[in-house]
Amino acid sequence: MSFQNTLAFAQSLDQADPLRSFRGQFYIPQHNGKDTVYLCGNSLGLQPKSARAALEAEMAKWAELGVEGHFTGENQWFTYHTGLAEPTARVVGAKPGEVVVMNQLTVNLHLMLVSFYRPQGQRYKILTEAGAFPSDQYALESQVKFHGFNPDNAIIEVAPREGEHILRAEDIIRTIQEHGQELALVMMGGVNYYTGQVFDMAAITQAAHAVGATCGFDLAHAAGNVTLQLHDWDVDFAVWCTYKYMNSGPGGTSGVFVHERHAQNPELPRLAGWWGHDQSVRFQMKKGFIPMAGAEGWQLSNSQILPMAVHKASLELFDQAGMENLRAKSEQLTGYLEFLLKGLRQPKEALEVITPEEPSARGCQLSLLVHQNGRQLFETLMANGFILDWREPNVIRVAPTPLYNTFEDVYRFGLFLVAHFNQ
């Protein structure tokens, strides 16, 4: 598509947008009585208007039924998580039995590492990307220490080449091959939180398996953002949060994927809890853990009904919109943002986009490296009703999200930057 830098053009794209009605299903934060330009769905998604009713329905059930809410009426709490499996599977490209919603992200990452980081002999190392989100770094550090290894030796980080900001796919694959005899696990983000780069998860998984390592991903910035086919890619495990692109509330619940070849293996080591125990005999309260089949066998405790109710409301919107449609709009929105940024004609010494240009290698987010007075620019934007995200030392992350952002949002952001850089 040939873009134009005019309000009329942006509004024409909005009029033609088949997903335009979804914006009305979200609350948009206000600034001086007007909608903000909210470009921060990569940090916290907006609240679906249906979330309150979903939450209040469970509150009413609790008030009216007490403990009997576990076994009475619609959406019984005892099996509440099972109703989330099919819509979750559609978002991440899995079979329903391969996914479960439970806990929170880093808790689930540790649970997966217990099962899938199994160092033996010389095969004890983990490969990850340099600059991974701190929670991932801390989880990996603590896991290798738990097994008696030094993180400096046991964790291999793949970094961009000198003078570059993103990882080259060939460098990731080459490093996996070079360390193949030592690798127990390849564990990376699906999308790098800082640069917005989408990694080739299929190729990475294939390379890991070729050298005898398992492969998992943190999809915090990928789930609900980019097209995923976890089952077909043969990924061993994945975890994600639901409060970013999946709009399920601050500190919301998390999701887990375990490929069916592992999920159907009751002998795979894991940390056990009673909600993962065979449901048919769970209340017999006997010793001897018998895991549920599928990803449900990694559950520890009762389902978190209240955050899951919010998540259920959001998943219904994803089902209505469809991931293919969302991805198509996302590529167009992000492409329009990129067009407007290039139109600023700023030298790299002033403003640099460090997210890949190839649409398949990025999601909603473009990361702007502002070399001069970046924090001041960010605070000026925020003070004028543009809600964005700042990452030290000098990056503004901009994320036009297809469920509720418009082309006019993106145009208004670009227009403000034009005024800023031309003053």
Domain membership flag for residue 1: no
Question: Which of 29, 74, 68, 27 is CA-nearest to residue 54?
Answer: 74
* 107/199 same-domain check: yes
Domain membership flag for residue 71: yes
Terminal-residue alpha carbon distance, the chain: 31
Q: What are phi and psi of 250, to 5 degrees?
A: -60, 130
Q: What are phi and psi of 211, to 5 degrees?
A: -100, 5
Quote the pLDDT of residue 57. 96
* 281/336 same-domain check: no
Domain membership flag for residue 341: yes
Quote the pLDDT of residue 74. 85
Boundary (domain end) residue, out of 285, 319, 353? 319
Domain membership flag for residue 159: yes
Quote the pLDDT of residue 422. 83
Q: Cα(291)–Cα(233) distance, rounded to whole angstroms?
A: 25
* 106/198 same-domain check: yes
Segment 125-160, tens digit of pLDDT: 999 999 999 999 999 999 999 999 999 999 999 999
Domain membership flag for residue 11: yes
Angle at 132 between CA 223 and CA 109, to 5 degrees: 60
Task: Quote the domain boundaries for residue 207.
Answer: 54-319
* 122/235 same-domain check: yes
Give, for all 423 residues of the chain, the pLDDT tens digit.
Answer: 799 999 999 999 999 999 999 999 999 999 999 999 999 999 999 999 999 999 999 999 999 999 999 999 889 999 999 999 999 999 999 999 999 999 999 999 999 999 999 999 999 999 999 999 999 999 999 999 999 999 999 999 999 999 999 999 999 999 999 999 999 999 999 999 999 999 999 999 999 999 999 999 999 999 999 999 999 999 999 999 999 999 999 999 999 999 999 999 999 999 999 999 999 999 899 999 999 999 999 999 999 999 999 999 999 999 999 999 999 999 999 999 999 999 999 998 999 999 999 999 999 999 999 998 999 999 999 999 999 999 999 999 999 999 999 999 999 999 999 998 887
* 327/374 same-domain check: yes
Q: Cα(192)–Cα(220) distance, rounded to whole angstroms?
A: 9
Domain membership flag for residue 243: yes
Give the orientation angle of helix 323-343 with respect to helix 407-422, to 10 degrees: 20
* 244/345 same-domain check: no
- Where do the H-state alpha helices sit in 151-272? 151-154, 169-178, 201-210, 230-233, 260-263
Domain membership flag for residue 49: no
* 388/245 same-domain check: no
Quote the pLDDT of residue 1. 78
Domain membership flag for residue 47: no
CATH of residue 201: 3.40.640.10
Question: Which of 133, 91, 21, 60 is CA-nearest to residue 311?
Answer: 91
CATH of residue 349: 3.90.1150.10
* 136/267 same-domain check: yes
* 243/305 same-domain check: yes
- The pTM for the full model equals 0.96
* 275/377 same-domain check: no
Boundary (domain end) residue, out of 319, 349, 370? 319
Boundary (domain end) residue, out of 300, 319, 338? 319
Number of domains composing the chain:
2
Q: What are phi and psi of 37, to 5 degrees?
A: -95, 95
The label of the residue with tokens 């509720």 reads 404
* 276/351 same-domain check: no
* 33/58 same-domain check: no
